[in-house]
Amino acid sequence: MGLLDSFFGKTKLPESKTEGIFAVSTAQVTMEANLELVSLKKAGICFKPQASSHFERARQEVEELLELSSKDTNTSYQIVKDDYGYVWILLEDPDFEDLVSNIYLVSEGLVERGFGGQLLCALFPFKSKDKKVIYWVYSFKHGNFYPFAPKPGKERDTALEFRTRSVMEKELPLEGDSARWYPLWDSPL
């Protein structure tokens, strides 16, 4: 960032880190075996839209790529806007690796078109045998995962979050600072 950029209040968005997302493919086996967490066969990717024709064109191109890919993988998807104005691409597929591949496809599509800084997170929900849902959140800004286990009343099951983190720390690139484990209340997934 140059002196004039800082003077005029322009900041460059951090580059997104997409390569770590594939770690969840192999980690899913460990989650099932060691934590009895089963994928809900869904995933989502969230990004901040921009009001520009260039961004709209990029979004359409990414949607076309996703449409082609979903024909090969039988992944269904929908695009929704949440209450905060963020766009979510929600995916469903019985094959977990197809979910991960399509999340990567969308993220790389936006990065290649110059909108990597708009990527916020990817979300992978799992369910425990006692029906608790825990999300593995991938932060594109930091290039790592963290667990999010919501409870009713916008509370968190921090014991479950820390337990899953301790089991998965050798499997996933994890966010070490739990202050960065941002809750995703009311996500559409």
Q: What is the per-residue pLDDT across 86-122, written as a single tens digit (0 to 9) for each?
A: 999 999 999 999 999 999 999 998 898 888 899 999 9
- According to the model, what pLDDT value does residue 12 have? 45
Q: What is the mean pLDDT of residues 74-91?
A: 92
pTM, rounded to two decimals: 0.88
Q: What is the per-residue pLDDT across 127-158, written as a single tens digit (0 to 9) for each?
A: 999 999 999 999 999 999 999 999 999 999 99
Cα radius of gyration (the chain): 17
- According to the model, what pLDDT value does residue 16 have? 65
Helix (H, G, I), strand (E, B) or coil at 15: coil
- Give buried/exposed letters for 150-184 (b at 16+ CB in 10 A, else e): beeeeeebeebbeebbeebeebbbbbeeeeebeeb
Q: What is the per-residue pLDDT across 153-185, written as a single tens digit (0 to 9) for each?
A: 999 999 999 999 999 999 999 999 999 999 999
Q: Where are the alpha helices (DSSP H) in the chain?
A: 3-7, 23-35, 53-73, 96-112, 158-168
Task: Please tell me what DSSP assigns to residue 175.
Answer: -
Q: In the chain, what are the domains?
A: 16-180 (3.30.70.1130)
Rounded Cα distance, 133 and 148, in Å: 9
Q: Decide: 40 and 31 in contact? Cβ < 8 Å.
A: no
Residue 105: how many other CB atoms lie within 10 Å = 20
- According to the model, what pLDDT value does residue 70 have? 81
Q: Decide: 148 and 161 in contact? Cβ < 8 Å.
A: yes
Report the C-alpha dihedral over residues 36, 38, 43, 47, rounded to 10 degrees: -10
Q: What is the per-residue pLDDT across 1-60, written as a single tens digit (0 to 9) for each?
A: 443 343 334 444 445 677 789 999 999 999 999 999 999 999 999 999 888 888 888 888
Q: Would you place residue 188 in the very low, low, confident or very high pLDDT band (cuts 50, 70, 90)?
A: very high
